[in-house]
Amino acid sequence: MKFLLYLYEMMAGLKINFNKSEVVMINDEECWGQTYAEIFNCQIGSFPIKYLGVPVSPSRLHVCDWVPLIEKSNKRLDVWKGSSMSIARRSTLISSSLNNAPIYHMSIYLLPKTVIKELDKVSRTFFWQGVHTKRKYHLVKWEIICKSKKKGGFGY
């Protein structure tokens, strides 16, 4: 198998870095995983793995596997000075960048309801409060704001 990988390297012109590679066993057979790791001189990995930034697993993904997506949304907000922005500007930032982060993940998986609620909470808090933790009154229900523009909402 290692010979086939070397042939692939020569044909494709790419170099496989076995030090950065991992062997991931699907059947939980640790003895085979260790054997393959020694043959390829690489490490043993475990599920869920990340492929193009999306967690991948042969079994169902748990809510804790989606925490990096929520943290990514929160990190985007840390850069913005939401308290000095108007509501229209906050609305534009939410629809242009904050809502686009999970779309790639949602094109592959159905996100758990709790993750969707948490992402919605991040957007809602930024819209009404900016980045401050001081609680402010919500002048309109979030469900109304999320309606399409034709129905009187902001189109989130």
25-67: per-residue pLDDT in tens? 887 677 788 888 888 888 888 888 888 888 888 888 888 888 8
Instruction: Check residue 135 and give its pLDDT.
Output: 65
Looking from the CA of 40 toward its CB, the CA atoms found within 13 Å total 23
Rounded mean pLDDT, 91-116: 81
Global pTM exceeds 0.75: no
Burial of residue 25, with CB atoms counted within 10 A of its CB: 0-12 exposed, 13-18 middle, 19 or more buried: middle
The rounded radius of gyration (Å) of the Cα atoms in the chain is 22
Instruction: Check residue 139 and give its pLDDT.
Output: 67
Any domain includes 58: no
69 and 146 housed in the same domain: yes
35 and 67 housed in the same domain: no
**CB contact at 8 A, 94 and 45:** no
81 and 130 housed in the same domain: yes
Rounded mean pLDDT, 16-32: 82
Angle, to 10 degrees, between the axis of helix 113-129 and the axis of helix 67-79?
A: 10
Any domain includes 53: no
Predicted confidence band at 133 (pLDDT cuts at 50, 70, 90)?
Answer: low
23 and 68 housed in the same domain: no
Any domain includes 57: no
Looking from the CA of 84 toward its CB, the CA atoms found within 13 Å total 3
Any domain includes 55: no
Name which of 137, 124, 117 is nearest 98 in CA terms.
124
Distance of CA 138 to the CA centre of its chain: 28
Count up the domains in the chain and report the number: 2
Structural domain harbouring 25: 2-46
Any domain includes 115: yes
37 and 83 housed in the same domain: no
